[in-house]
Amino acid sequence: MNVAVPIWKRAVASQIDQFIFQTPAKLVEKTIRKKLWPDKKVKRYYLPTLVTIAGEVYFLLNKNGQTIGDQVVGIKVVSQDGRPLSLEQVVKRTLYKDVVYPATLGLPLLKALQQIKAGKETELPHDEFAHTKLISTR
């Protein structure tokens, strides 16, 4: 298995997507919480995570395997077997990235990045789990 695109492209695409999906969601959640509980400080945001998951699933299924960030940096998520992405693949990949990584403090990702740095061929855990891979579109 090969990592089809440089890690920096993945990171930049991810940051673009997080900014697009999470910024408005954080503002909405903060406003709602201030109205419901005016004396409480907002410490954790739940809506942005849900919006990010829904946005990524929508874009990967309906926009040819590309989120907005993916389009900007020129990458695309595809099935390892060449078939169109399935709902199951997209949900598995997205949940692994947005739930498993934070719950495990990113340890699976750190391990994979160490292997890549050491020159070993490996795929990132969320792509391996969902049987997907990233390819360059330009």
How confident is the model over 4-21, as a mean pLDDT?
Answer: 89
Q: Kindly state the tokens that stand for 120.
A: 């070993």
Helix (H, G, I), strand (E, B) or coil at 53: helix
Report CA-CA distances (Å) from 45 to 6, 12, 16, 30, 33.
30, 22, 18, 8, 10
123: left (phi over 0), alpha (psi -120 to 50) or beta: beta
Q: Is the pLDDT of residue 2 over 60?
A: no
pLDDT digits (tens, 9 = 90+) for 35-53: 888 887 766 778 888 888 9
Q: How many CB atoms lie within 10 A of CB 46?
A: 9
pLDDT digits (tens, 9 = 90+) for 96-135: 998 898 888 888 888 888 877 777 667 889 999 999 999 9
The model carries a pTM of 0.82
Residue whose C-alpha is closest to residue 98's, from 76, 67, 73, 64: 67
